[in-house]
Chain A
């Protein structure tokens, strides 16, 4: 085996190579010169060399393969060589995966099949029509008489009257060169034209159309029609059969041309594929072209006979006549059963045909429609249908309503209705009728299945007062109605919730004038969240001073004005537990104790007292001022206590500068102590005071200075303690 004769499959080639190498006499490269046994190293090199060459060969072959195939196509022979392989491949595909083959063929074959089916039906119709024309028509009789008169056969006369050949000339044209290979023309046609030139131009025209509209060259140009002349072209792989027709093209001619083209290609395929300008070999294909010009039945000369239509439609008419009564009966029966199924109080269990007659069985409420009446309406005779209905009590709303009407016998002023499977009674009636109806319904159905709330007693005055009472209750805050209606004695009943702060229902009832024994009331106490009631409750609970404006808006308790600190603290605590109050708003509420505290502090801190130099006493003329200071201190103590605030009053000493800072500090300290002693003598609680020396620093109060050498001052600062 030579390296180039190996398979292109590397794996297979490798195995072949291995097989070769296993035989020590078949490969020199794998044999050592000493003992003829291949060494492992030489075998590996040999395999690698073979593998490399196989891959190189595959690459080289793939490069030249497309060109080689193209050359084979030009020189011929490839088709014949590939035919068995392609046939086998198609056979395998059709066996293994026929679906893919079908999908590939369907686009072209499907359309062709439809066309073929339609053409076959049309052809059958034409044949029937033609037969009828000859044998069952006035025209047929005329043709028979003409045949007798002229001595011609009937067929000849029929042919004369029905057939013609509008094909004037037929050509076999070489597709690639556009040259006329063969032509045929009818005897009546004179041919002054040079058909070689015309054929060339026809080919050029096809090329022009294909180029202009970007059509594939395989897309055939089938007809060209100009006025009364039609050019019919049937394209084959190498040649086209083209014909000149007078008048419109008929499908039969296309079929003939197609047939002729196929036969010519079958018989002259070699001559066509190797055509080099010599047309002599195609002289023998003239009969195929002649066949395209044979007479054909002209449909324009064959009127469509009414008899034909009748004959073709007759089977359908017979079929319809035979089946129509059954169909009508079936449809009517179906409609009757559907009608019954829709009817309340009727349940169809079974129906059908038995012994050639309809039967139906089911359940029927006595209040439901009569099935026999419906049977007559549907067009049946009751005696023709076997009907069997068992009585039952229907649960449909319509039947329940009918049953209630029969049971209650309501007056015209009462309207009965079924809403969500609940029987509702509305309107006015006498107290006795209402009582009787309630008793009947309670015996008949469950309590939650009927509603008499919409009923009112036909006593117009009491009804009006009752409605006014209900309206008052609705308007009154703190009252909430849960149910209302009429009891078994025909009295008005009302059940609800009442806030103790709201007006009493009895008071409201009294306003309406309705007697209290006409109304049965049940009120449970509750705390209403209504803002008006919430405000009442807040006012009741907090008892605000007159200076406070109280209101509840959107669940917020607003307190405005001024109030002492203890009351504000109480309001803040209690407001959290008032129903209907979510929060408290006091931004516009002034705390009077806090205000007094600030005022007292301001007055105290404005004081500056002058003391004598060298003596622990006030300079003359400040006694009243001192008295006022003690009053302000008392006020401060009161206000601080009401606000829960502790404080200290810082007594600050100031002295004119002596030049020595330490001395100044000591002198100022002495002044503060002296003033505290003064206050102590006036029975002030000294625990409230503290002292501070500010040396020669003057008080931070407008106008107070230490300019004179004997200036000795005290001032005050109130310190609030946390």
Chain B
């Protein structure tokens, strides 16, 4: 079985749970300190598709609410993006929209899968179904995920892998 390798970037506002998702579900050899020093940490997620295996090299890019800090160099060559939101913080949707516009300016249109994280905290949920419809209208594939329970994570990764395959 052949192995395909793809670079994808994981982006999102500060403290939406990107690193937790990575820590739980992908292979990581580097310390999280690289996120705050170099601004990025590369991880790997191997996914088996129907006829092929795919290694996703996930560039976990340090999330700041100030979008200027995202280095364009880190986005170069990415086949797709994982855009992570915090379901309990409405403003993370707005930041995600801005990130999407920025990466489209920098790298062109590539597949994007949105992970609305912390879906296990229903009581504090702020993302409405209308907002989700808006996301889908932008062409995003939207998944409600939980780094805590693992809900929706594998599907999200697999969906992105299929989109960029």
Report which A residues bind B (CB closer than 8 A).
174, 176-180, 193-194, 196-198, 200-201, 204-205, 207-208, 210-211, 217, 276-280
Across-interface contacts of B39 in A (CB, < 8 A): 208
CB 8 Å contact bits of B3-39 with A (1 = contact, 0 = none): 1111100000000000000000001111000100011
Contact of A197 among B30, B74, B77 (CB under 8 A): B30
Across-interface contacts of A207 in B (CB, < 8 A): 71, 73-74, 76
In the complex, are the beta carbons of A194 and B3 less than 8 A apart?
no
Across-interface contacts of B29 in A (CB, < 8 A): 193-194, 197-198
Determine if B40 is an interface residue (Cβ-Cβ < 8 Å): yes
Contact of B57 among A193, A196, A280 (CB under 8 A): A196
Across-interface contacts of A176 in B (CB, < 8 A): 76-77
Residue with the highest number of chain A CB atoms closer than 10 Å, among B38, B44, B78: B38
- The complex places the Cα of A180 from the Cα of B4 at a distance, in Å, of 11
With A174-B77, A277-B5, A278-B4 known to touch, is A208 a contact of B55 (CB < 8 Å)? no
- The complex places the Cα of A178 from the Cα of B57 at a distance, in Å, of 9
In the complex, are the beta carbons of B73 and A197 less than 8 A apart?
no
Determine if B2 is an interface residue (Cβ-Cβ < 8 Å): yes
In the complex, are the beta carbons of A197 and B3 less than 8 A apart?
no
Determine if B85 is an interface residue (Cβ-Cβ < 8 Å): no
Known: A194-B29, A208-B71. 18 other contacts (CB 8 A): A176-B76, A176-B77, A177-B6, A178-B57, A179-B6, A179-B57, A196-B57, A197-B29, A200-B59, A204-B38, A207-B76, A208-B38, A208-B39, A211-B71, A276-B79, A277-B4, A277-B5, A278-B4
With A176-B76, A204-B59, A208-B71 known to touch, is A197 a contact of B42 (CB < 8 Å)? yes
Determine if B151 is an interface residue (Cβ-Cβ < 8 Å): no
- The complex places the Cα of A35 from the Cα of B73 at a distance, in Å, of 71
CB 8 Å contact bits of B34-66 with A (1 = contact, 0 = none): 100011111110000000001101010000000
In the complex, are the beta carbons of B55 and A196 less than 8 A apart?
yes
In the complex, are the beta carbons of A177 and B27 less than 8 A apart?
no
Nearest Cβ distance between residue B87 and chain A, in whole angstroms? 29
In the complex, are the beta carbons of B2 and A197 less than 8 A apart?
no
Across-interface contacts of B28 in A (CB, < 8 A): 197
In the complex, are the beta carbons of B78 and A177 less than 8 A apart?
yes
Nearest Cβ distance between residue A250 and chain B, in whole angstroms? 29
Contact of B42 among A193, A201, A211, A278 (CB under 8 A): A201
Nearest to B28 among chain A residues (CB) is A197
Nearest to A179 among chain B residues (CB) is B5
Top 7 closest pairs, chain A to chain B, by CB: A200-B42, A176-B77, A207-B73, A177-B77, A177-B7, A277-B4, A179-B5
Nearest to B54 among chain A residues (CB) is A277
Across-interface contacts of A280 in B (CB, < 8 A): 2
Across-interface contacts of B76 in A (CB, < 8 A): 176, 207
Nearest Cβ distance between residue B164 and chain A, in whole angstroms? 8
Nearest to A198 among chain B residues (CB) is B29
- The complex places the Cα of A276 from the Cα of B79 at a distance, in Å, of 8
Across-interface contacts of B7 in A (CB, < 8 A): 177-179, 200
Nearest Cβ distance between residue A54 and chain B, in whole angstroms? 36
Across-interface contacts of A197 in B (CB, < 8 A): 27-30, 42-44, 57
Across-interface contacts of A210 in B (CB, < 8 A): 73
Across-interface contacts of B4 in A (CB, < 8 A): 277-279
Nearest Cβ distance between residue B116 and chain A, in whole angstroms? 26
Nearest to A178 among chain B residues (CB) is B7
- The complex places the Cα of A176 from the Cα of B77 at a distance, in Å, of 5
Across-interface contacts of A179 in B (CB, < 8 A): 5-7, 57
- The complex places the Cα of A198 from the Cα of B27 at a distance, in Å, of 12
Residue with the highest number of chain A CB atoms closer than 10 Å, among B29, B34, B42, B54: B42
In the complex, are the beta carbons of A204 and B77 less than 8 A apart?
no
Nearest to A207 among chain B residues (CB) is B73
Across-interface contacts of A217 in B (CB, < 8 A): 73
In the complex, are the beta carbons of B5 and A194 less than 8 A apart?
no
Nearest to B6 among chain A residues (CB) is A277
- The complex places the Cα of A398 from the Cα of B38 at a distance, in Å, of 85
- The complex places the Cα of A200 from the Cα of B76 at a distance, in Å, of 12
- The complex places the Cα of A196 from the Cα of B45 at a distance, in Å, of 11
Contact of B79 among A196, A277, A279 (CB under 8 A): A277
CB 8 Å contact bits of B95-119 with A (1 = contact, 0 = none): 0000000000000000000000000
- The complex places the Cα of A207 from the Cα of B43 at a distance, in Å, of 17
Interface residues in B67-94 by Cβ distance below 8 A to A read 71, 73-74, 76-79
In the complex, are the beta carbons of A279 and B74 less than 8 A apart?
no
- The complex places the Cα of A177 from the Cα of B78 at a distance, in Å, of 6
In the complex, are the beta carbons of B42 and A178 less than 8 A apart?
yes
> Can you list 24 contacts pairing A with B, beta carbon distance less than 8 Å?
A177-B57, A177-B78, A179-B5, A179-B6, A194-B27, A194-B44, A196-B57, A197-B28, A197-B30, A198-B29, A200-B42, A200-B57, A200-B59, A204-B42, A207-B71, A207-B74, A208-B39, A208-B40, A211-B71, A217-B73, A277-B5, A278-B4, A279-B3, A279-B5
- The complex places the Cα of A246 from the Cα of B165 at a distance, in Å, of 38
Nearest Cβ distance between residue A514 and chain B, in whole angstroms? 109
- The complex places the Cα of A179 from the Cα of B62 at a distance, in Å, of 20
- The complex places the Cα of A177 from the Cα of B7 at a distance, in Å, of 6
Contact of B38 among A198, A205, A279 (CB under 8 A): A205
Residue with the highest number of chain B CB atoms closer than 10 Å, among A196, A211, A276, A280: A196
- The complex places the Cα of A210 from the Cα of B59 at a distance, in Å, of 18
- The complex places the Cα of A446 from the Cα of B59 at a distance, in Å, of 106
- The complex places the Cα of A247 from the Cα of B135 at a distance, in Å, of 53
- The complex places the Cα of A177 from the Cα of B2 at a distance, in Å, of 19
- The complex places the Cα of A177 from the Cα of B107 at a distance, in Å, of 12
- The complex places the Cα of A277 from the Cα of B39 at a distance, in Å, of 24
Across-interface contacts of A204 in B (CB, < 8 A): 38, 40, 42, 59, 74
- The complex places the Cα of A174 from the Cα of B76 at a distance, in Å, of 12
Nearest to B78 among chain A residues (CB) is A177
Across-interface contacts of B6 in A (CB, < 8 A): 177, 179, 277
Across-interface contacts of B27 in A (CB, < 8 A): 194, 197
Nearest to A280 among chain B residues (CB) is B2
Nearest Cβ distance between residue A280 and chain B, in whole angstroms? 6
Nearest Cβ distance between residue A268 and chain B, in whole angstroms? 16
Nearest Cβ distance between residue A506 and chain B, in whole angstroms? 112
Across-interface contacts of A201 in B (CB, < 8 A): 30, 34, 38, 41-42
Across-interface contacts of A205 in B (CB, < 8 A): 38
Across-interface contacts of A174 in B (CB, < 8 A): 77
- The complex places the Cα of A568 from the Cα of B16 at a distance, in Å, of 121
Nearest Cβ distance between residue B140 and chain A, in whole angstroms? 22
- The complex places the Cα of A177 from the Cα of B74 at a distance, in Å, of 9
- The complex places the Cα of A194 from the Cα of B7 at a distance, in Å, of 15
- The complex places the Cα of A197 from the Cα of B29 at a distance, in Å, of 8
Across-interface contacts of A279 in B (CB, < 8 A): 3-5
- The complex places the Cα of A502 from the Cα of B56 at a distance, in Å, of 125
Across-interface contacts of A208 in B (CB, < 8 A): 38-40, 71, 73
Across-interface contacts of B42 in A (CB, < 8 A): 178, 197, 200-201, 204
Nearest to B76 among chain A residues (CB) is A176
Across-interface contacts of A200 in B (CB, < 8 A): 7, 42, 57, 59
Across-interface contacts of A178 in B (CB, < 8 A): 7, 42, 57, 77
Across-interface contacts of A177 in B (CB, < 8 A): 5-7, 57, 77-79
Across-interface contacts of B77 in A (CB, < 8 A): 174, 176-178
CB 8 Å contact bits of B104-142 with A (1 = contact, 0 = none): 000000000000000000000000000000000000000
Nearest Cβ distance between residue B61 and chain A, in whole angstroms? 9
- The complex places the Cα of A88 from the Cα of B121 at a distance, in Å, of 69
Nearest Cβ distance between residue B75 and chain A, in whole angstroms? 10
Across-interface contacts of A276 in B (CB, < 8 A): 79
- The complex places the Cα of A384 from the Cα of B70 at a distance, in Å, of 89
- The complex places the Cα of A197 from the Cα of B55 at a distance, in Å, of 10
Nearest to B79 among chain A residues (CB) is A277
Across-interface contacts of B74 in A (CB, < 8 A): 204, 207
Nearest to B26 among chain A residues (CB) is A197
In the complex, are the beta carbons of B5 and A196 less than 8 A apart?
yes
In the complex, are the beta carbons of B2 and A278 less than 8 A apart?
yes
- The complex places the Cα of A276 from the Cα of B54 at a distance, in Å, of 12
